[in-house]
Amino acid sequence: MAFWWVNHNQTSKQEIAGGYVWSPKCQSNGRRSQFYDFMREMRVGDFIVSFSHAQIGHFGIVSGLPLSAPKPDEFGKTGEQWSLDGWLVRVAWEKVAHPFRPKDNIEHLRPFLPKRYSPIQENGNGNQAAYLTKIDEMLFSELEQLGSFQRNGNIVVEHELDDQAFIEEVEDQIATVLIQNSPIDSTETDAIIKARRGQGRFRQNIEQFEDKCRVSGVRDKRLLIGSHIKPWRVCETAEERLDGANGLLLAPHIDRLFDLGLITFGDTGTLFVSDCLDQETIDCLGLSKPEAREVGTFTSNQIAYLSYHRDNVFLG
């Protein structure tokens, strides 16, 4: 279990109402930021406090895995300079009983602030460079007392959507926008929409590269799913969504693992497994077998997409 602090002045209203936090994966100059990279480290059951408009007003429990997801539509013009490709983590939020300003309590809180990546300055003002940062349990406990909230209180974690169902909901919204606003002809739009399910032209293009599930070894194509390496929901062009090099044929359980970032592959075919999976699950899924650990070589174009998957989807 870990403890987090999010600074989200501009988007707190949308994120708290929507039950999530979202950040771009890189800064506007294309560089990585540890405050964004922290997003991929969040795990179900972690606790988080919301700092917005100079006060701690909400706290929450992480209720889903970090997902590669586009910037939420409800942000509107907020963060127009941000990358559209980001991390989304679902959170069950609850209002703090007594909202408070950390600045008013800075003498008490200062000794507990992180030495690196602090969410606020030593004078109690917010750290404008910080979005999400990790805090220790001692600081979280101090915040609990000041806000009169309890981590084991009455907060309700909604499980109406699992991670895969949430992805489906996001992709439904994207598909609707594509259909309504697409400048290309209906045949091309139809091919792009079918590619979301690993069907149609995209599936045919994958089969130019792949003839079996590399992990399970299944060859019966009736049992294989055409899976995007760079997720359909964050592809920037129609070409990426239809590119056969951006796909693998995977057995359904392997497809699920890959799409959720629980497994990925090295350039030479080494299987990498996320620390989100325990050893018993890894063994039951057949991921411990020698033949599943080295799945064969990839083309240079596939390698480019796999590099994206390792850096931007995999939960290592």
Note whether 108 and 32 are same-domain residues: yes
- The confidence score (pLDDT) of residue 257 equals 96
Beta strand extents in the chain (DSSP E only): 3-7, 20-24, 47-52, 55-62, 67-70, 85-100, 132-135, 225-228, 247-250, 263-265, 271-273
Instruction: Please write the tens of the pLDDT for every residue from 56-68.
Output: 999 999 999 999 9
Closest alpha carbon to 203 in 228, 166, 234: 228
Query: The domain spanning residue 125 has which CATH number?
Result: 3.10.590.10
pLDDT by residue (tens digit) across 72-98? 999 998 988 898 899 999 999 999 999
Q: Which has the closest alpha carbon to 38: 153, 131, 172?
A: 131
Q: How confident is the model at residue 185 (pLDDT cuts 50, 70, 90)?
A: confident
Residue 174 lies inside a defined structural domain of this protein: yes
User: How do residues 11-59 score in pLDDT, each as one tens digit?
Assistant: 999 999 999 999 999 988 889 999 999 999 999 999 999 999 999 999 9
pLDDT at 142 over 80: yes
Among the residue ranges 146-160, 162-176, 294-308, the one predicted with the least confidence is 146-160
Shared-domain flag, residues 67 and 129: yes
* Residue among 82, 78, 100 at smallest CA distance from 36: 82
- Domain membership flag for residue 222: yes
pLDDT at 240 > cutoff 70:
yes
- Do 132 and 264 lie in a common domain? no
Q: Are residues 28 and 128 in the same domain?
A: yes
Looking at the fold, whether 135 and 188 belong to one and the same domain comes out as no
Number of H helices, E strands in the chain: 12, 11
Which pLDDT belongs to residue 158?
Answer: 61
The boundaries of the domain holding residue 284 are: 163-312
Which is higher by pLDDT, 156 or 280? 280
Structural domain ending residue among the three candidates 97, 113, 147 = 147
